[in-house]
Chain A
């Protein structure tokens, strides 16, 4: 009966869903592809270079960090690829490549790894790295005044809107023929990614929808109920991209659905306040970062009500 000793013992359940961290991250990468493709089509091959450098720097810095701290290499979970990808799509195409690399290293090492790696960071790595770059490399990283872009050497719609100028066409805003960061110009491409993530059940829709709706409603109020201006504010800048790809980051947003709605509304409100009253043209990054910091508290306060019971 020696064979009998080979039976394995474990606690139930004995089966599990095939999804893993890597497969979730792969879904996010797939969802980012339409946006990246739109960016490459609109801005040219340099956009691809920015994306490639960002991803490579992110992956390399995570590998090296794992070697230094003698931890198992976490690159196969693909999360560093996602971080590098998202950061690249947040940058203007004119960004010097070394700066893109520095941003990726900052995102991975400072914001993610030093806090304990995946799932432990309190702020979105790509978002925080973007803010770091806007302040450190103000002249080149800010998407407000693209300086060396050949295709769109005009001010981005957000800056124009700040002066009360409407973009030439809404179709342009939607398809992405106006200025901005690589990944924020085509609303259509972002929405394709959004739908993909929803269908694959990678994200829940509550944070993005409440985020975008809040920005729309407050823009409507601040613009004296002018629908066209409100719509222009909603479709321009990094709002859609941030709402879909960053306000849904697992580590840095609340776990419950109600928490996600609070996150979206809060981030939306801060975005609008900065856009209308702040000195930066864009507020999405700061809105998300601020709500990232509040997330542990939201998770503490907003807990699902158990079926047939009360939280004591």
Chain B
């Protein structure tokens, strides 16, 4: 018997769930960032003036945790610039002027994949990263180290964030690609079964996935509670296969690989046609827009052009979000491009997101009783404000996944998840400092010993 993991009931606002993705025409130019994934940025291999096609490699992977980047349009490389990303970090980007033809690169061809090494290489070359939002290079995940066995491939179709329906559309419209991806991965990586986890409110997606699961006995569908955040990695592992991932461990340590449904569809598509990840289905929604829908956007297209394609603003938005309202970033500029891991962009009005007034904490305990990982946000806030780092460490603020349930549910608008983020950063820098000091001490002692000799 599984005990119940908590969460919050968020408004669904899945206005676009019935809207199949439409492809937007090539923009005049695209700005493709080198950092669209967790890890080291990719290294540009093109220079201004180079001719590129859709699917031409423009930046090579740099280091183990990184991912190659491909051109999303056909045309000429215009320049290399620095781009301010939504997280406030500057990043190299390649600007490509489109010729409007979207000519595919002549080298694009389906890869030959017959064993594990070839599959991992193909996933690496496809440029696929975690498309649920995290952007972790997928090939690293599937490169199972010797001695580890994987019992379950968990396909994350929870899509628990409000507004976003791009994963739903993948499950409804791209089940062939998904099936091809899942079956190849199960075959070549010797994984006995795959479970697709979907929140209960997505009836159409559940029906489509159940129909797909009938084609292979190894695949099953698990309908999840409609409770944010069912799609969080540790939460979905627990609710699909009942395993508890210990803090600081990876899903692989409990015999699982979790991958987003769009990621697996992207891999399946690459295996079939050989076209790497160059465009992305993005949910475009929000009260400040004249239209809404799911749009297939060439990577590097600015948000402004995406909004214009859907009909433009009916009023100037209060916030523009990259991702969903629970974990997405509010961006400062509409020049930010759509990236590999962008699954939604929302132009919201002030009424839609209605911010609460910050008042005194009444100790209601809602943050504690709603935390999906049973943490103590209220205690972290107190400890952080009092500078008690030892309490933060003891009460394990490091486990927090920043899902935002505590801040969402708080009746007095305490900066809970914000504080957790700061506290995690504080503990990390303290640990790094401690390590540095210890190393210095060791070095001193060693040099002392050398002198003594």
Contact = CB atoms under 8 A, between A and B. Distances in A.
Interface of A: 3-4, 6-21, 23-24, 74, 77, 79, 117-120, 204, 250-251, 255-257, 299, 303-312
Given A11-B421, A12-B329, A14-B319, A120 B245 contact: no
Nearest to B320: A7
Contacts of A6: 316
B399 A306 contact: yes
A250 B396 contact: no
B326 A12 contact: yes
A24 B394 CA distance: 32
Cβ-closest 3 pairs across A and B: A309-B247, A13-B404, A255-B365
Contacts of A304: 368, 371, 374-376
19 contacts: A4-B334, A9-B319, A10-B330, A14-B348, A15-B352, A16-B413, A17-B409, A17-B410, A21-B411, A118-B362, A119-B360, A119-B362, A204-B365, A255-B378, A306-B373, A307-B234, A307-B372, A309-B248, A310-B247
B235 to A, nearest CB: 8
Contact of B319 (A8, A256, A299): A8
B374 A307 contact: yes
Contacts of A7: 317-320, 330-334
Contact of A312 (B162, B372, B394, B410): B394
Given A12-B329, A312-B393, A307 B5 contact: yes
Given A6-B316, A16-B410, A307 B362 contact: no
Contacts of A307: 5, 234, 238, 244, 372-374, 399
Contact of B411 (A24, A255, A299): A24
B418 interface: yes
Interface string B389-427: 000011110010010100111111101011001000000
Interface in B342-389: 348, 352-357, 359-365, 368-369, 371-376, 378-379
A311 B374 CA distance: 11
Q: SS class of chain A's interface: helix, strand, loop or mixed? A: loop
Nearest to B372: A307
Contact of A12 (B10, B369, B417): B417
B100 interface: no
A292 to B, nearest CB: 12
A7 to B, nearest CB: 6
Contacts of A250: 362-365
B10 A309 contact: no
A248 B415 CA distance: 24
Nearest to A295: B363
Contact of A309 (B162, B371, B399): B399
B289 interface: no
A74 B362 CA distance: 13
B5 to A, nearest CB: 7
Q: Which of A7, A19, A117, A256 counts the most B-chain CB atoms under 10 A from its CB? A: A7
Given A303-B379, A304-B376, A306-B399, A24 B362 contact: yes
B246 interface: yes
Contacts of A8: 318-319, 330
B326 A13 contact: yes
Nearest to B304: A4
B328 interface: yes
Given A17-B8, A308-B244, 15 more contacts: A10-B319, A12-B329, A13-B417, A14-B326, A14-B353, A15-B408, A20-B359, A21-B359, A250-B362, A256-B365, A303-B395, A304-B368, A304-B374, A307-B234, A308-B373
Interface in B247-287: 247-249
A307 B411 CA distance: 24
Contacts of A77: 359
Q: Which of A15, A20, A256, A305 counts the most B-chain CB atoms under 10 A from its CB? A: A15
Contact of B333 (A4, A15, A17): A4
Contact of B376 (A21, A117, A119, A303): A303
Interface size class of B (residues with CB under 8 A): 35 or more
B327 to A, nearest CB: 5
B145 interface: no
Contact of B332 (A9, A14, A24): A9
A20 B246 CA distance: 35
Contacts of A20: 356-357, 359, 411-412
Nearest to B413: A16
B11 interface: yes
Nearest to B5: A307
B325 interface: yes
Given A15-B10, A16-B413, A119 B332 contact: no
Contacts of B411: 17, 19-21, 23-24
A203 to B, nearest CB: 9
A251 B362 contact: yes
Contact of A305 (B318, B328, B374): B374
B443 to A, nearest CB: 29
A16 B407 contact: yes
B119 interface: no
B246 A308 contact: yes
Given A16-B408, A251-B363, A255-B368, A306 B330 contact: no
B319 A308 contact: no
Nearest to A17: B409
A15 B162 contact: yes
Contacts of A118: 360, 362
A294 to B, nearest CB: 15
Given A12-B326, A13-B326, A3 B316 contact: yes
B219 to A, nearest CB: 27
B158 interface: no
Interface in B310-342: 316-321, 323, 325-334
Contacts of B363: 119, 250-251, 255
Given A118-B360, A309-B396, A311-B396, A14 B328 contact: yes
B368 A256 contact: yes
Given A7-B320, A7-B333, A311-B395, A117 B328 contact: no
Contacts of B354: 15-16, 18
A77 B407 CA distance: 19
Contacts of A305: 374
B368 to A, nearest CB: 5
B330 A204 contact: no
Nearest to A23: B411
